[in-house]
Structures are given as structure tokens and as C-alpha cells.
Structure 1
Amino acid sequence: MVRGKTVIKRIEDTTSRQVTFSKRRSGLFKKANELAILCDAQVGVLLFSSTGRLYDFSSTSMKSMIERYNQTKEGHQLMSASTESKFWQAEAARLRQQLHNLQEDHRQLVGQNLSGLGVKDLKCLENQLEMSLHSIRLKKDQLMIDQIQELNKKESILHEENKELRHKLNSIRQENVNLQKKVHGQIGVDGGQNSSAIDYNIAVPEEDMTPVRLGLSQAQHVAKEKPEATASG
């Protein structure tokens, strides 16, 4: 049966926590003793339980080990301060030398302080300049290509936007033409109705009624004279 992996977290159950503490404390002291025997080392372990009880293990005298620990720690602190000071001094000197070398290289790259260089050194400097110039040109060409591609993309976008705007403008113009046709057609229909009404009024004037009345009056006069003629005859 495979043993499950123990999750490293605080054990909530008091009994289980105490049992685990006893087992692991014994295992820790056992490992410390083995380390002291196998490696001829001085090992000391101080352990306080959750209840405040002290447990300790020492391959030699615990007091002598604590005194040695304090002396060694103080010596390390003093030594670390002086060592750190020397380290930063050496680091500052190294950085100054590096800065001087960089300044010298820069002056040589711009064509200054070339008197102390031989043919081989000048050839190396020339090759370095050619490589640098080649890298600079490649970088410049790449930047120009990227800018051209970006401009082409912007041009395509602007062309599409212009095409869409032109289509919208044509649609608006067509709507205006259709609206004007509708307005002119309505005006033509209204004008035709008004002209017919005017023609009708002119075709039937009031003066044309007079001859009709005269004709009727003459007919009545003839009708009245005809019996008189008959009587006289």
C-alpha cells in the first residue's frame, strides 16, 4: 500500500499534533546524532514545544557549543564588515577601470587617440566599424520597412473609409434626386387641375346666353302674328 503524501500544515487535532511532535523530535535527534558521528561534526539542537517545554541534543557540551557559537558569530560580523568594505572598494576600482576602457574605445571609434595603434589594431578597429555600420544599416532598413508597411496599412484603411463615404454620398444624392422628382410631379398635377378649371370658366361666358334669349323672343312673336293673318284671310 502506497503511503499518501503528508500535507505540511498545522495539525488541528491536539492528540495527533502531540504524537507527530514526539515522532518527529525523535527522528530529528536521531539524524543529528548520525550527522555528528558520520561527519565528525559538533551538532547541537534546541527545541521548544508548543507548551514551552525544552528539548535539546548535543554531540558535546551544549554550553561550550553555545559559547563557540557566540564567539564565531561576533567574529563573522566583524569580519563581514571589513570584508564588505574591501569588496566595495574593489568593485569601485573595477568600475572605474571599465569606464576608462569604454571612454578609450569610444575615442578610438570616433577617430581620436589613434597614434598608439599599429596596423593590426587599426585593421581590427576598421572591421569593428564596418560591422557596426552594417548592423546600423540593417536596423535602419528594417525600421523603414516597418514604417512603409504601417503606412500601407493606413492607406488601405483610408481607401476603404473613402470608398464607404463615397457610397454614402451617392446614396444621399440618389435620395435627393428621387425627392425632387416626387416634389416636381406633385406640382405638375396641381397645375393641370387649375388650368382645366380656368378653361371651363372661359368656355361658358355669361354673354353667350343673350342670343338664345333673343331667338326665343322672336319665335314667340311669329307665333302670335300667325293667327291674325289667318283670320284676315
Structure 2
Amino acid sequence: MVRGKTQIKRIENSTSRQVTFSKRRKGLLKKAFELSVLCDAEVALIVFSPSGKLFEFSSSSATSTTERYRKCIKNLRPSKQMDDSQHFEEEVAILRKKIELLEETKRKFLGDGLDSSSIDELEQIEHQLEKSLRIIRSRKILLFCERINQLKEEGKILRKKNAELREKYEERQLELSIGQQFSSLEQVKEVETQLFIGLPNR
């Protein structure tokens, strides 16, 4: 069975949330360790659980890595920070627009929010749905053909087995028939015959 895509949102069930936290935390710590060993990188990872419990990993010392990070941040130019922040905000805005467009398209494909659509937009949606429907039907036909071929192969195997069983049955019947004829000949041989000369006894 294909595993479904996990929705990135807060897990409402507290038990499931705790189990997921435990599994993902172990995976994250493992990845941090692998990164530090494989790439000879200085890695420090700090995780607080929902209950406030601390989990950490560091390739050398979490304190020294944190201090190194603070010094690096202080040495960065303010203009560099502003450029990065502005670039990040622009990317977020672009992605947000793409998500909104995809959500709107999805609603229209489901038949919702069509009141504001123009005739051209409706025709585009119709063409896209027809194209998708053709693809689905082609896939369905392909699966049917594969299933038919599979059933034909199974039918050949069954007919072959049936012919073998019939042949064995006919051989067995022939053996029984020969055995019965042989038994009848033996009985005929065992019949005694007597020859009398002269007048029969009175």
C-alpha cells in the first residue's frame, strides 16, 4: 500500500504527537551526527520537547559552537542581513502567490468558485479535465488489457493441467480395463472340463 503524504500541521492527538516527536527527534539527531562525521562539519543541535525536556547533540561542544555562531552573527554586515531578509520575504511572497493560485485552480477543478470565471477560463478547465479523463481512461484500458492477458495465461495453465489430468485418468481407465480382461481370462482357464466315453450313468 502506498504511503500517503504527511500533512505539515500540528498533530491534535497528544499520544500520536508524542510518538511522532520521539521518532522525528531520533531521526534528526541521527542526521546531525551523520553530517558531522561525513562532512567533518561542526554541528550543534538543540531540541526542547513540548514538555520542556532538553535534547541536544554537538560534534564538539554545544557551548563553543553557540559562541562561534554569535561571533559570526556580530561580524555580518547589517546590509547583508537586510539583503538576505528582503530576498527571503520576496521568495515567501512568490511561493504564497503560487499556493493561492494552485488552491484556486484546485477548487475550480472540483466545481467550486466558478461564478467569477470567464468563458475562456471555463473552456481551459474543461479541456484540462477532458485531457485528464483521457489519461485516466487510457490507464484504465491498459490495466484491463494487462488483467485480460493475465487471465489468458492462467487459462492456458489450467487447460494444460486439465489435459494432463485427463490423460492420467484415461491411462488409469485403460489399466483397469486390461486388468479386468486379464482376470476374466484367468477365470476361464480355471474352469474344469470332463470327458465321458460310453453311456451315461443312470
| TM-score, normalisation: structure 2 | 0.51
Pairing of 1:1-233 with structure 2 (within 5 A) = 74-76=70-72, 94=95, 98=99, 100-191=100-191, 193=192, 196=193, 199-200=194-195
Q: Which runs of 5+ in 2 are unaligned?
A: 1-66, 77-83
Give the CA deviation at 1:75. Answer: 3.1
| Aligned residue in 1 for 2:53 | none
Once residues 121 and 207 of structure 1 are traced to their aligned partners in structure 2, the CA distance between those partners, rounded to angstroms, is: 124
Give the CA deviation at 1:129. Answer: 0.6
Once residues 174 and 73 of structure 1 are traced to their aligned partners in structure 2, the CA distance between those partners, rounded to angstroms, is: 94
| CA shift digits 1:102-154 (9 cap, x unpaired) | 44323211222101111111111111011101101110111111111111111
Give the CA deviation at 1:207. Answer: 6.5
Once residues 188 and 97 of structure 2 are traced to their aligned partners in structure 1, the CA distance between those partners, rounded to angstroms, is: 99
Once residues 200 and 150 of structure 2 are traced to their aligned partners in structure 1, the CA distance between those partners, rounded to angstroms, is: 87
C-alpha distance 207-119 of structure 1, shift in aligned 2 (>3 A): closer
Which is higher, the Rg of structure 1 or of structure 2? Answer: 1
C-alpha distance 72-139 of structure 1, shift in aligned 2 (>3 A): same
Give the CA deviation at 1:157. Answer: 0.8
SS state at 2:113 partner = coil
Once residues 170 and 121 of structure 2 are traced to their aligned partners in structure 1, the CA distance between those partners, rounded to angstroms, is: 73
Alignment: residue pair count: 126
| TM-score, normalisation: structure 1 | 0.45
Once residues 122 and 114 of structure 1 are traced to their aligned partners in structure 2, the CA distance between those partners, rounded to angstroms, is: 8
Residue 117 of structure 1 aligns with an amino acid whose one-letter code is S
Specify which structure has the higher proportion of helix: 1
Give the CA deviation at 1:162. Answer: 0.7
| Aligned residue in 1 for 2:81 | none
Give the CA deviation at 1:203. Answer: 5.9
- Give % identity: 23
Once residues 125 and 115 of structure 1 are traced to their aligned partners in structure 2, the CA distance between those partners, rounded to angstroms, is: 13
Once residues 124 and 207 of structure 1 are traced to their aligned partners in structure 2, the CA distance between those partners, rounded to angstroms, is: 120
Q: Which runs of 5+ in 1 are unaligned?
A: 1-70, 209-233
C-alpha distance 129-204 of structure 1, shift in aligned 2 (>3 A): same
| Aligned residue in 2 for 1:20 | none
